[in-house]
Amino acid sequence: MEWLTQLSNNKILISSVLAWLLAQILKTLINFLSTKEFNPERLFGSGGMPSSHSSTVCALVTAVALNYGFDTYEFAMAAVFAIIVMYDAMNVRREAGEHAKWINLITTTLQPDIPIERKFKEYLGHTPLQVLMGAFLGVATAFVIMQ
């Protein structure tokens, strides 16, 4: 059970997981306040404000920087990973979500009498603001945990 103790002492991992959890909770609350409906999918789903992808990787890169420094290969790897994840969330996955919206609209408009087997998921990516807010949340979370 030593691995469990080691895992529970890993502040870098704790920072990242906590940042993800906080973002998912905030995302669910923000969605509830804007729609007045509780959507449990928001607790685990992608897309929305703030970006949990950004909060997770920014907590990771911040915690790594605070633990190892900015001139280390650990920081370089975490930073490159964070950039790729945030770029993907803002561009590739966001665009896929936009495509899903159009496909769903076209399908329901052109064939309103035919039951749709499956509707495509539209919440996939993030706006730049959602990514930025997730990044701020991740950095702040890491600073608190790493103290």
What was the pLDDT predicted at 49? 87
Q: Is the peptide bond before 50 cis (omega within 30 degrees of 0)?
A: yes
What was the pLDDT predicted at 16? 97
Q: What is the rounded average pLDDT for all residues in the chain?
A: 87
Please report the sign of the dihedral spanned by the C-alpha atoms of residue 10, residue 12, residue 18, residue 24: negative
Q: If 0-12 CB within 10 Å is exposed, 13-18 middle and 19+ buried, where does residue 69 land? A: exposed
CA pair distance 98, 124, nearest whole angstrom: 9
Q: Is the whole model's pTM more than 0.75, yes or no?
A: yes
Say which residue, 6 or 139, is predicted with more confidence: 139
What is the mean predicted confidence (pLDDT) over 14-26?
96
- What percent of the chain has a predicted confidence (pLDDT) above 70? 89
| Strand, helix or coil for residue 58 | helix
Most confident of 26-35, 36-45, 53-62, 95-104: 53-62
What was the pLDDT predicted at 118? 67
Question: 39-43, 103-107, 112-116 — which is least confidently predicted?
Answer: 112-116
